[in-house]
Structure 1
Amino acid sequence: MVYLKNSVTSGAADGVFAFGAAGDTAIVGDWDGDGYDTLGVGRPEGVAQRFYLTNSNIRPGVAGSFLFGNAGDTPVSGDWNNDRFTTVGVKRGNYWYLTNSNIRPTASSSFQFGNAGDRPLTGRWDRGTGTSVGVAR
């Protein structure tokens, strides 16, 4: 179950819905460039990571599904190229693989950062263009 709050206040959730399955890793982004963040999940499937994205927080249904990365990867999301569309990526050990397309995803960039056991973080840290990566150790 997903519980969303439209303000930074106490109280009940403004939106509650089911999306994904137990064991999925939730990610968030503006997948269609409409200015609204919606939910996505990464799920190990065989030897790969399958992503499921939705474009609605009111009537969430799968708007897109595709494979990217390996089953043991940690899913991440961001607007890596500052085009107003969020796309996915994965962290594998201390390697990052990011794509600029959720339609035919292939690694647009890959690099090493952090340590294998670090938790991935993504955000706009310096008002630069696009989303950058970070880690929590």
Structure 2
Amino acid sequence: MLSNDPPPGVSLQAARANRVYVAGPMTGIADFNYPAFNAVADKLRAQGYEVENPADHGIVAGAQWADYMAYDLTRLGLCGMVALLPDWEKSQGAKLEVLIAERLGMTVVNAHDLVTRENAAVPTFSKLM
């Protein structure tokens, strides 16, 4: 049965176009790199983007890496673009997020270049393998 309205929980590509997911390294970095995530998220929001920032969930008691990734991947799927922080390629989680984003046809950009509106193209996961 064809419907013009997507069912609850399904977001069409056009609805995701202005939503940006911030990806980058957290594990092993002071304060989980939250300051860098938050700074980029703030700048993108000021430019009018809707932002999914993994730092927003903070530290959850008892949560493991897989728990955070399971949640964050659901947020990634709501976006049309991924903005990469420096050293993202050193992060297993960010590499997974980029791989999924590429497979879904999302735009993957350098976060710094996106906030400064420069050429945002970056080498992505599939190009590094």
Same fold (TM over 0.5): no
- The structure with the largest helix share of the pair is 2
Q: TM-score, normalised by structure 2?
A: 0.26
Q: TM-score, normalised by structure 1?
A: 0.26
- The structure with the largest strand share of the pair is 1
